[in-house]
Amino acid sequence: MRWFFFILLILAAAILEAGNLLNLIAFSQGQIRPSVLTILLVFFSLRGRPEQAVACSFAVGFAADLAGSVMGPHTICFGLIGSILSQTQGMLTLRRPAYQVAVVLVASLLAALSSQWLALLKTAQQTPVPFTVLAGSALYTAAVAPVLWPLLNLLWKSLIKPRSPRGARDRIGHV
């Protein structure tokens, strides 16, 4: 995998999450916005090899923490969710948009709820974000997923290194 391009990609997504551009498509006075990083998490967890998927999940979580205001919660939650998703690669194939929506919705809800709990634990704040806002953002993220999925499929081709032709030559040599 081309890690440099991968880092650029998640940095771009983190800038989108932390910046003002997504406010232009937000609902409910800016409260409900899609999370590009959650879509990246699901995509890379299901596309990469298991060790790549684990590393990608934690890296995307770290980027989500950077874009937020508390370090740690997203790294842990995204890492856990991504690692679990990577174990389901044989069972889950997200070719149909409906499956993409379902998996992103569940992952998004789980990530939002668990990371918020950890963030409250760390900062000792007493006012959590209401569940309606978290659920709305998760729904919006899931709705956006089928739009971004084909783009990510295109990007994936440039992110993976082309297979070395050495193996083929070796086989020809043996023949």
Partner 1 sequence: MAFRKIHVSPGSMFITLLIAGFLLLWLPQSFTCHLNFLFVRIFDPLLRLGRQVEMETVRSRPARQDSIQQAEHNKLWKAYQNLHAQYRALHQEYESLARFRKELPRPWPGLVLARITSTTRGPRHELIINKGSDHGIQPGQMVITEANDSIIGTVREVSSQLSRVRLLTDQSQNMEVRIRRPGRDTEYPGRLVGDGKSACRIPLLSRDYDLREGDVVYAAPRPGLLEIPLVVGEVTRVRHDDEHPLLWDITVKPIDDPYTQTVVAVIVPADFEAEKK
Q: Which residues bind to partner 1, rule: CB under 8 A? A: 11, 14-15, 18-24, 26, 28-33, 50-51, 53-55, 58, 61-62, 65-73, 75-76, 79-80, 83, 86, 118, 122-123, 125-127, 129-130, 133-134, 137
Minimum CB separation of residue 173 from partner 1 in Å reads 23
Rounded CA-CA distance 41/162 in Å is 23
Nearer to partner 1, 133 or 152 (CB): 133
Nearer to partner 1, 71 or 160 (CB): 71
Nearer to partner 1, 128 or 150 (CB): 128
Minimum CB separation of residue 108 from partner 1 in Å reads 13
Of the candidates 149, 171, 154, 159, the one whose C-alpha atom is nearest the C-alpha of residue 38 is 149
Of the candidates 25, 13, 17, 38, the one whose C-alpha atom is nearest the C-alpha of residue 114 is 38
Minimum CB separation of residue 97 from partner 1 in Å reads 25
Q: Cα separations (Å) of 42 from 23, 26, 29, 91?
A: 23, 22, 27, 14
Nearer to partner 1, 21 or 168 (CB): 21
Rounded CA-CA distance 57/85 in Å is 10
Minimum CB separation of residue 76 from partner 1 in Å reads 4
Rounded CA-CA distance 138/146 in Å is 14
Minimum CB separation of residue 162 from partner 1 in Å reads 17
27 in helix, strand or coil?
Answer: strand
